[in-house]
Amino acid sequence: MSKPRVAIFDFACCEGCQLQIVNLEEDILNLIELVDVVEWREAMSEQSHEYDIAIIEGSITREEDAKRLEVIRSRAKILIALGACATMGGVNKMKNNFDLNEVRECVYGEDGKMAHLHTEMTQAVDEVVEVDFKIPGCPINPAEFAQIIRSLLLGKTPFVPDYPVCVECKAKENICRYEYNEICLGPVTRAGCDAPCPSAGWRCFGCRGMVENPNVEAAQEVMEKYNLTVDDLKQKLVLFNTK
Ligand code: SF4
Ligand code: SF4
Ligand code: SF4
């Protein structure tokens, strides 16, 4: 039986999630035994229009990118959005809160008027085409990537938690970042990362997106306990969770 053909594509992003795939090191060899990688700009020069699984990294910020994505979708049986940029628009989507001409000028100065720096409102991949599966995180967790790909190849539904980061954080007995007067997004953010940020003394920035049904009451209680408001929490959500 022929192996599923996989192609990896990038759009507007830092390519850090692809780097995490490379960081699988020996495990990448095990995965490559299960699939044929037919296109992956970051790691090989070959290209192909024939693939079963398309993995998309990055957000969509130009009309030509949306058209390219639609062509990829038409060729793939399964389309996976990889990382926060692809699954939610990620940090790129923050620019949607501002005038785009101002954004270009802020980043590029006078050069921002040049045609090749044209940009449009950022869209997540599923705002342009149908997505079959999302792998969250900025960057993705390589072990979770490997587990999800293996599950998909076996025809199983991959497991991605739908409970908050606080569950994993408390299991590690970390001191809560709210005790340090920081606004941590752990109460509303999807777990699965094993809470590396609070474990390293940082607040959670919400890079895996929100759980399906955030416990708003519990979040409100936390905010009240520390003399904060829900608006304070919403301001922090802008980094990764701009709608
Ligand atoms: S999700 Fe984060 S690490 Fe991944 S490509 Fe986007 S900015 Fe880079
Ligand atoms: S709010 Fe943040 S630091 Fe506190 S328990 Fe939840 S994830 Fe951990
Ligand atoms: S703790 Fe929060 S910011 Fe850190 S990796 Fe997990 S979801 Fe992302």
Strands 53-57, 133-135: pairing kind: unpaired
Query: Is 178 near ligand 2, meaning CB less than 6 Å away?
Result: yes
User: Are 193 and 172 spatial neighbours (Cβ–Cβ below 8 Å)?
Assistant: no
> Are 42 and 108 in the same domain?
yes
> Are 57 and 114 in the same domain?
yes
Q: What pLDDT digit, counting tens, does each position of 114-164 carry?
A: 988 888 999 999 999 999 999 999 999 999 999 999 999 999 999 999 999
Tell me what the mean pLDDT of segment 182-201 comes to: 96
> Are 181 and 132 in the same domain?
no
Three-point CA angle 91, 237, 81, nearest 5°: 45
pLDDT > 70? residue 1: no
Does 80 reside within a domain?
yes
Mutate to test the pocket of ligand 3, among 145, 170, 197, 238 (most ligand atoms within 8 A of CB): 197
> Are 122 and 22 in the same domain?
yes
Long-range contacts of 223-226 (CB under 8 A, 24+ apart): 225/178, 226/178, 226/181
Instruction: Output the average pLDDT for the chain.
Output: 93
* pLDDT above 70 as % of the chain: 100
> Are 140 and 217 in the same domain?
no
> Are 148 and 172 in the same domain?
no
Does 160 reside within a domain?
no
- Kindly give the residue spans of alpha helices, DSSP state H, lying in the chain: 16-22, 26-34, 63-75, 83-88, 100-108, 142-153, 165-171, 196-199, 216-225, 230-241
| pLDDT attached to residue 196 | 96
Q: What pLDDT digit, counting tens, does each position of 71-115 carry?
A: 999 999 999 999 999 999 999 999 999 999 999 999 999 998 898
**Closest atom of ligand 3 to CA, residue 208:** 7
Tell me the residue range of the domain where 112 lies. 5-153
- Is the pLDDT higher at 134 or at 27? 134
Q: Ligand 2 mean position to 153 CA, how many Å?
A: 34
Tell me what the mean pLDDT of segment 184-193 comes to: 95
Tell me which residues have their CB closer than 6 angstroms to ligand 1. 13-17, 57, 83-85, 90-91, 138-139
Does 96 reside within a domain?
yes
pLDDT > 70? residue 241: yes
Ligand with the closest atom to the CA of 183: 2
pLDDT > 80? residue 207: yes
The amino acid that residue 129 corresponds to is V
Tell me what the mean pLDDT of segment 224-243 comes to: 90
User: Are 27 and 146 spatial neighbours (Cβ–Cβ below 8 Å)?
Assistant: yes
Largest CA distance in the chain: 61
Instruction: Please tell me the distance from the alpha carbon of residue 89 to that of residue 44, in angstroms, as a whole number.
Output: 26
> Are 91 and 9 in the same domain?
yes
Last residue within a domain, chosen from 128, 153, 178: 153
> Are 115 and 225 in the same domain?
no
Mutate to test the pocket of ligand 2, among 181, 189, 203, 204 (most ligand atoms within 8 A of CB): 204
Does 84 reside within a domain?
yes
Does 159 reside within a domain?
no
> Are 144 and 32 in the same domain?
yes
Quote the number of domains for the chain. 2
How sure is the predictor about 216, in pLDDT bands with cuts at 50, 70 and 90?
confident
Task: Kindly report the CATH number assigned to the domain that includes residue 22.
Answer: 3.40.50.700
pTM above 0.75, yes or no: yes
- CB burial of 213-239 (b: ≥16 within 10 Å; e: otherwise) equals eeeeeebeebbeeeeeeeeebeebbeb
Does 237 reside within a domain?
yes
> Are 18 and 91 in the same domain?
yes
Does 194 reside within a domain?
yes
Last residue within a domain, chosen from 106, 123, 153: 153
| pLDDT attached to residue 24 | 87
